[in-house]
Amino acid sequence: MTRIYDALKKAESTRQRLGLGPSPIGAAPGQSPPASWGNSAMEAIPAPLPLLGGVELGEDAVRETTALRVNLESVLADRSPRSLMFTSAQAGEGTSTVALQFAQALAHGSARVLFVDAHARRPVCFADDSQRHAVLDVRVASPSMAGLMTPNLAAMPATEEAVSSGNVPAAVIRAALQSAVGAFDWVIVDGPPVVESPDAATLASLVDGVILVLHAGRAKRPVVARAVEMLRKSGGRVLGTVLNRRVHEIPGFIYRRI
């Protein structure tokens, strides 16, 4: 039995403890699970589903995600699960890509990881027709990962309601975090860009920490400063930044020897 299956089973028992009604994990083989968890008393949250597809995880990304993980493990030593939101000042800086790289790297290291798609206006994963898998959008997916699953990695796609309204309610993220207790080691929230989305700062205050993704050479200092201020004002804890798409001035093969 895979660790992700165990994680999903644990999520189920946590969910039952929270009184959230029937879940897809309990469905008999061949039976279609319901599209969402929850009941009328609480925000419906989508089921965590094994993620089909992934992003490119090159040597540089592995090195950088490892350094980030080690730092975060010490800052968030007492948290379980550790929850992070990746966000950026503006759209297109690589938030989803970096959040997925981090989630995949953690899962490769045997951590149980839940990736939560919280960018309702530009989601990157969708439940497939059978509602048994989350499928990564081709916009970010690596062709070399097509059809492949990362063990230990589950994804919670944005709900149809969130996509049609254009924002993920805070109650959904709260419920997702609660349901992850005991089932996942990390919850990685792929957040909307701060300056463009009024809900981003609120969502940031619900997680243990925020990682700001900056597109190297494109992110402008005043815009980034404004994003940081908005996050801090709402109670978000900015724990780090990732400089995405950094261009190395020296050839990669030399860089790797430094």
Ligand X SMILES: Nc1ncnc2c1ncn2[C@@H]1O[C@H](COP(=O)(O)OP(=O)(O)O)[C@@H](O)[C@H]1O
Where do contacts with ligand X occur on this chain (CB under 6 A)? 88, 91-97, 122, 139-140, 244-245
Given the complex with Mg ion, which of 96 and 244 has the nearer CB atom?
A: 96
What does 139 interact with, of Mg ion, ligand X, none (CB < 5 to 8 A by kind)? ligand X
Min dist. Cβ of residue 244 to ligand X (A):
5
- Cβ density class 186-219: b for 16+ within 10 Å, e for less: bbbbbbbbbbebebbbbbbbbbbbbbbbbbeeeb
Contact residues: Mg ion, CB under 5 A: 95-96, 119
DSSP summary character for residue 144: G
Given the complex with Mg ion, which of 95 and 197 has the nearer CB atom?
A: 95
What does 246 interact with, of Mg ion, ligand X, none (CB < 5 to 8 A by kind)? none
Judge contact between 118 and 192, C-beta under 8 A.
yes
Determine how many CB atoms are found less than 10 A away from the CB of residue 27.
15
Min dist. Cβ of residue 248 to ligand X (A):
12
What does 26 interact with, of ligand X, Mg ion, none (CB < 5 to 8 A by kind)? none
Residues 6 or more apart in contact with residue 32 via CB below 8 angstroms: 130, 131, 132
Given the complex with ligand X, which of 179 and 197 has the nearer CB atom?
A: 197
| Residue nearest to Mg ion according to CB distances in the complex | 96
Given the complex with ligand X, which of 97 and 167 has the nearer CB atom?
A: 97
Taking every pair of C-alpha atoms in the chain, what is the biggest distance, in angstroms? 58
Judge contact between 53 and 146, C-beta under 8 A.
yes
What does 87 interact with, of Mg ion, ligand X, none (CB < 5 to 8 A by kind)? none
